[in-house]
């Protein structure tokens, strides 16, 4: 009897369970009819979105990124803080600093005296934007610029911050912004690499720039940045050796391609085909690159516009001029790095020289693109990897001080490419330490750049090692306020 009751209970439960289960499953199935991809795995749209075509009509077709490596001090260049100047020498209120982590260089500092800019500011243009006297040429073009004073980042040291801005991740091994654009948009000019890199160095304290910053990461290696060097051969080993004719080179490449094709048939490694494509591009670059890199035909006006240093290979001015020429010839992403902005000490002396290095040529690039009617479709970006502190690093003397790394706010500018001209966006507090209005995170910035190029940063995806990657990782919002 006891057993029968138990049995009954079991049966009842099983029957109940099964009938309920079928009901539940039936409901789930009904629900799934309304949720097309419920059992199909998520995010299948990356496979259906074609690569190499903008997702929607782009405002900009190309980018020139004038990276100011080392982190230029916003207090001396764009972010005018009269209050900070008045308060020079006073201790930074702990409430302002909050729980901000500091670098090892100032963490042990006993006091944090604030220091205002040694240089004066003035308002310029119709936008009445404040620009420091260190940037007389930039001041003349403020009506073409959108100055963002409220950028912030997560890293506090150069390499992670730089890597973060370029790849969306602090650790590296991810594709750089230029590689993503190359992947997302494809070539405009098939005779030049889609992503080129130009380096220069100022007199100030320099920080390393490594090729990982223009790495293609897990993307196809045809999206890798190509570094143009300053010597006689801007692209190393591009010239045919003496005695080799163009026909011979062609025949050699054709035969090599056949061999490569054979090994691709047997191994199936896509990198083999990438290599063949690169050989072919190199062959075409043999004629295209000398034509682009030739500065001898630039008019006197252009030399005067960029400053005479634009004819000295390896200077920032020369790289700006080259950037214009490359961009004009359809290179999607021209990445410049100008080193030397890391003014931990001796700031007034060093920053003046750094500013002089870049001021005229940066402004000239914008003017030059504009006068060719290209500024509308070319996005120019100027900025570093983070900002600098409102307090001095080391000793504050009457005419000398330094500033440490400051990720909480920094200033960049953008021009052209459908960004609102003549605009100052975002605001920092009176001492230039915290953002009080319209913060722009690095991922927001990246999302905005992609948006201007017609790419949805949430849809520009690459699947690698079982997960999908984006330039903006899992965050980022397009800053619509600055879009014209």
Chain residues 15-34 in contact with other proteins, contact rule CB under 8 A: 20, 23-24, 26-28, 30-32, 34
Q: Which is nearer to other proteins, 130 or 433 (CB)?
A: 130
Nearest to 63 by CA among 428, 425, 381, 480: 381
Q: Binding other proteins by CB under 8 A: which of 13, 15, 37, 269?
A: 37
Q: What's the closest the beta carbon of residue 421 comes to other proteins, in angstroms? A: 8
The whole-angstrom separation of Cα 442 and Cα 436 is 17
CB of 266 to other proteins, least distance (A): 29
Applying CB under 8 A, among 311, 349, 427, 429 the residue interacting with other proteins is 311
Residue written as tokens 């020289």?
A: 353
Considering only the stretches 186-194, 225-233, 433-441, 461-469, report the one whose residues sit in contact with other proteins under the rule CB under 8 A.
Answer: 186-194
Distance (Å, rounded) from C-alpha 63 to C-alpha 357? 21
Stretch near other proteins under the rule CB under 8 A, chosen from 57-65, 82-90, 145-153, 166-174: 57-65
Per rule CB under 8 A, is residue 41 in the interface with other proteins? no
Candidates 55, 174, 324, 406: give the one binding other proteins (CB under 8 A).
Answer: 55
The DSSP bridge partners found for residue 64 are 334, 380
Q: Is 109 in the site for other proteins (CB under 8 A)?
A: no
β-pairing, 387-392 vs 423-425, is unpaired
Q: List binders of other proteins among 349-408 (CB under 8 A).
A: 360, 364, 367-368, 370-374, 376-377
Alpha-carbon span 134 to 119, nearest angstrom:
7
> Would you call 1 helix, strand, or coil by DSSP?
coil
- Total number of residues that touch other proteins (CB under 8 A): 73
Structure tokens given for 260 = 């490569």
Q: How far is the CB of 92 from other proteins (least distance, A)?
A: 29
Contact between 468 and other proteins by CB under 8 A: the answer reads no
Q: DSSP letter at 204?
A: S
| Selection from 381, 373, 372, 377 nearest residue 452 by Cα | 377
As measured in angstroms, the least distance from the Cβ of 87 to other proteins is 25
Binding to other proteins, residues 139-158 (CB under 8 A):
143
- Is 76:349 a contact under the CB 8 Å cutoff? no
Smallest CA-to-CA distance from 225 within 169, 287, 148, 278 is with 278
At closest approach, how far in Å is the CB of 13 from other proteins?
15
Q: Which residue stretch of 110-118, 151-159, 284-292, 440-448 sits at the interface with other proteins (rule: CB under 8 A)?
A: 284-292
Q: How far is the CB of 330 from other proteins (least distance, A)?
A: 6
Question: How many CA atoms lie less than 13 Å away from 229 in the CB half-sphere?
Answer: 8
User: Do 408 and 435 contact (CB within 8 A), yes or no?
Assistant: yes
Output 135 or 433, the one with its CB closest to other proteins: 135
User: Nearest approach, Cβ of 98 to other proteins (angstroms)?
Assistant: 29
Question: Would you give the binding string for other proteins spanning residues 408-427, x where CB under 8 A is met?
Answer: ----------x-x-xx----
Q: Which residues of 197-212 are buried (b: 16+ CB within 10 A; e: fewer)?
A: bbbbbbebbbbebeeb
Q: Which among 167-175, 255-263, 305-313, 461-469 is the span making contact with other proteins, rule CB under 8 A?
A: 305-313
In the complex, least distance from residue 193 CB atom to other proteins, rounded to whole angstroms: 14
């Amino acid at each position: 009897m006891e057993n029968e009751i138990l049995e009954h209970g079991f049966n009842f439960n099983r029957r109940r369970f099964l009938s309920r289960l079928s009901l539940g499953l039936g409901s789930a199935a009904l629900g799934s009819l309304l949720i097309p991809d419920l059992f199909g795995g998520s995010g299948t749209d990356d496979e259906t979105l074609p690569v190499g075509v903008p997702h929607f009509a782009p405002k900009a077709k190309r980018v020139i990124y004038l990276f100011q490596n080392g982190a230029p001090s916003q207090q001396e260049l764009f972010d005018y803080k009269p209050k900070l100047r008045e308060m020079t020498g006073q201790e930074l209120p702990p409430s302002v600093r909050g729980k901000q982590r500091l670098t090892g260089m100032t963490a042990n500092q006993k006091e944090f005296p604030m220091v205002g800019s040694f240089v004066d500011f003035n308002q310029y243009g119709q936008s009445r934007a404040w620009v420091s006297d260190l940037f007389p040429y930039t001041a003349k073009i403020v009506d073409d610029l959108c100055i963002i004073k409220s950028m912030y980042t997560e890293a506090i040291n150069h390499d992670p911050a730089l890597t973060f801005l370029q790849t969306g991740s602090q650790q590296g091994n991810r594709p750089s912004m230029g590689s993503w654009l190359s992947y997302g948009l494809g070539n405009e000019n098939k005779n030049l690499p889609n992503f080129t890199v130009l380096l220069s160095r100022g007199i100030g304290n320099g920080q390393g720039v490594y090729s990982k910053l223009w790495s293609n990461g897990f993307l196809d290696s045809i999206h890798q940045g190509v570094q143009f060097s300053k010597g006689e051969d801007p692209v190393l080993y591009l010239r045919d050796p003496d005695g080799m004719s163009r026909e011979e080179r062609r025949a050699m490449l054709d035969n090599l391609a056949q061999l490569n094709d054979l090994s691709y048939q047997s191994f199936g490694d896509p990198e083999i085909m990438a290599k063949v494509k690169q050989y072919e591009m190199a062959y075409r670059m043999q004629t295209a690159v000398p034509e682009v890199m030739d500065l001898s035909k630039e008019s006197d006006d252009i030399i005067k516009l960029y400053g005479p240093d634009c004819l000295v290979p390896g200077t920032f001015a020369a790289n700006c001029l080259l950037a214009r020429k490359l961009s004009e010839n359809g290179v999607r992403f021209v990445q410049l790095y100008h080193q030397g902005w890391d003014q931990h000490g001796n700031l007034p002396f060093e920053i003046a020289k750094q500013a002089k290095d870049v001021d005229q040529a940066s402004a000239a690039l914008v003017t030059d693109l504009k006068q060719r009617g290209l500024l509308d479709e070319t996005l120019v970006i100027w900025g570093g990897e983070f900002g600098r502190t409102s307090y001095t690093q080391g000793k504050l003397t009457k005419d000398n001080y330094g500033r440490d790394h400051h990720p909480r706010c920094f200033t960049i500018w953008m021009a052209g490419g459908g960004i609102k001209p003549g605009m100052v966006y975002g605001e920092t507090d009176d001492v230039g330490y915290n953002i009080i209005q319209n913060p722009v995170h690095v991922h927001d910035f990246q999302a905005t750049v992609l948006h201007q190029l017609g790419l949805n940063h949430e849809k520009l995806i690459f699947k690698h090692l079982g997960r999908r990657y984006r330039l903006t990782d899992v965050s980022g919002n397009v800053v619509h306020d600055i879009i014209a």
